């Protein structure tokens, strides 16, 4: 895999002059953030050697390079999910490329169901930690020491200094947010009510189908992570109606204004 990562990275370096240190992964319905990126340079995933292609509605499938407040960034408009049938190594492939490209900080976002009853659809949740309920780990297999250690530490999977900075930015802008634990499952089914009760007992405040694999690999590679969930619906058993991906994307788009304002101003501070 190392030579593939080098090949993909070399392609990107030849295709763009941007050399960002900050990357953003945009969750379902949150892709509008790219409208706030100046001097954009876009590359379709299908044109990038060795890159998988996103198959989910609300996930466009492009890398968007550019600037936010003069800070160079690259955004993934569209991510890869385990439920799409990709291997964990494919789901997380972009993280390896990001590291090789020089990315030091990752802002990862997602749409998620709120299992914490104090949340509402539209709530933005700063991720304090996560629970891997995928039943597997993206690092299973032979370790390549050129990437990272065999037994990576996950003590501060979501960096405290980045969370403190995000809180300061939100407070200054008057953006309301909660803090909580994200639990990632394979999907593609939304949870049963019994699963939500079990996950809540385990400590989950929000439940989704992504993020955990990418954040695991980012930590392995030594990339600092900040995570934000957009609570698009209350989880099963708390919600008053059945879930649909259309509603998820719709609510994420509505919460997008606050989400974008928050992320833009975080980038301006960390860049």
Ligand X SMILES: Nc1nc2[nH]cnc2c(=O)[nH]1
Ligand Y SMILES: O=P(O)(O)O[C@@H]1C[C@H](O)[C@@H](CO)O1
Q: Which residues bind ligand Y (CB under 6 A)?
A: 27-28, 56, 79, 81, 110-111, 187, 208-210, 245, 248
Q: Report in angstroms how near the CB of residue 175 gets to ligand Y at its nearest.
A: 19
Residue 66 Cβ vs ligand X, minimum distance, rounded to whole Å: 27
**By CB under 6 A, residue 127 contacts ligand X:** no
- The minimum distance between CB 7 and ligand Y, in angstroms, equals 26
Contact between 255 and ligand X (CB under 6 A)?
Answer: no
CA–CA distance, 212 with 222 (Å, rounded to integer): 15
Residue 21 sits at φ, ψ, to 5 deg, of: -110, -10
- CA–CA gap between residue 175 and residue 235 (Å, rounded): 23
Does residue 227 interact with ligand X by CB under 6 A? Answer: no
Active site residues: 28, 59, 81, 83-84, 111, 209-210, 233, 245
Nearest partner of 109 among 47, 158, 175, judged by Cα: 158
Of 202, 199, 188, 208, the closest CA to residue 237 belongs to 199
116 vs 172: CA distance, rounded Å:
25
By C-beta, is 68 or 209 nearer to ligand X? Answer: 209
CB burial of 65-87 (b: ≥16 within 10 Å; e: otherwise) equals bbbbeebbbbbbbbbbbbbbebe
Is there binding between residue 111 and ligand X (CB under 6 A)?
Answer: yes
Binding partner of 113, given ligand X, ligand Y, none, CB within 5-8 angstroms per partner class:
ligand X
Residue from 218, 248, 249, 255 that binds ligand X (CB under 6 A)? 248
Tell me how far, at minimum, the Cβ of 29 lies from ligand X, in Å: 9
What is the 3-state secondary structure of 152-172?
CCCCCCCCHHHHHHHHHHHHH
User: Is the Cβ–Cβ distance between 191 and 207 less than 8 Å?
Assistant: yes
Instruction: Choose the binding region for ligand X from 4-12, 105-113, 162-170, 220-228 (rule: CB under 6 A).
Output: 105-113
- Work out what residue 62 binds among ligand X, ligand Y, none; the CB cut-off runs from 5 to 8 Å by kind: none
Q: Does 45 bind ligand X (CB under 6 A)?
A: no
How far apart are alpha carbons 250 and 188 in whole angstroms? 18
Q: How far apart are CA 248 and CA 241, in angstroms?
A: 13
Q: Is 61 in the site for ligand X (CB under 6 A)?
A: no
The site for ligand X (CB under 6 A) is made up of 111-113, 185, 187, 190-191, 207-209, 232-233, 235, 243, 248
């Amino acid at each position: 895999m190392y030579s593939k990562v080098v090949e993909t990275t070399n392609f990107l370096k030849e295709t763009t002059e941007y050399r960002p240190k900050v990357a953003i992964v945009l969750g379902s319905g949150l892709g509008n953030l790219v409208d706030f990126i100046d001097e954009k340079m876009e590359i379709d995933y299908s044109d990038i050697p060795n890159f998988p292609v996103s198959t989910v509605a609300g996930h466009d499938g492009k890398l968007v390079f550019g600037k936010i407040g003069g800070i160079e960034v690259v955004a993934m408009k569209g991510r890869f999910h385990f439920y799409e049938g990709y291997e964990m190594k494919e789901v997380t492939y972009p993280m390896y490329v990001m590291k090789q490209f020089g990315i030091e900080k990752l802002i990862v976002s997602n749409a998620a169901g709120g299992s914490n009853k104090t949340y509402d659809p539209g709530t933005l949740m700063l991720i304090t930690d996560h629970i891997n309920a995928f039943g597997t780990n993206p690092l299973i297999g032979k370790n390549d020491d050129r990437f990272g250690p065999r037994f990576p530490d996950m003590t501060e999977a979501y960096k405290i200094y980045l969370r403190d900075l995000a809180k300061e930015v939100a407070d200054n802008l008057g953006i309301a947010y909660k803090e909580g634990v994200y639990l990632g499952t394979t999907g593609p089914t939304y949870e049963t009510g019994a699963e939500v009760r079990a996950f809540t007992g385990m400590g989950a405040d929000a439940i989704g189908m992504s993020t955990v694999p990418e954040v695991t690999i980012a930590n392995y590679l030594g990339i600092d992570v900040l995570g934000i969930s957009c609570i698009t619906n209350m989880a099963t058993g708390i919600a008053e109606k059945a879930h649909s991906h259309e509603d998820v994307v719709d609510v994420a788009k509505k919460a997008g204004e606050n989400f974008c304002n928050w992320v833009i101003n975080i980038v301006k501070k960390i860049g």
